[in-house]
Amino acid sequence: LSEEGRIEEVTGRDGLIPLAAFAEDLDLRALPTPTMVSARPETPMRAAVEINHETGVPVPILDGEGRLVGVVGAAEIFCGILRDCDPAAE
């Protein structure tokens, strides 16, 4: 992250991971593997779950200025379904 909280690059085991912004018409299956797809706070949870499922990586949530404000991964999805756990404590 930059000093302003913006994602500068994403690195995985095999090097840099491309970053794409979510859009309703984005074909998740056409993206190279792996690709990290960012979303906005107003992105529906169903879309975040689909992004996580198709890409296999957590979804960074970026505000209107491109700053990281959260992440939706498997722990957050399961806790949202179960409604009785804190993913930060896991």
Neighbours of 70 (CB within 10 A): 14
Express each pLDDT in 36-89 by its tens digit.
999 999 999 899 999 999 999 999 999 999 999 999 999 888 888 888 777 666
- State both tokens at 7: 């994602």
Tell me if 42 sits within 8 A of 64, measured CB to CB: no
Three-state SS sequence of 34-75: CCEEEECCCCCHHHHHHHHHHHCCCEEEECCCCEEEEEECHH
Query: pTM for the whole thing?
Result: 0.83
What is the H or E stretch that residue 5 is in?
A: none
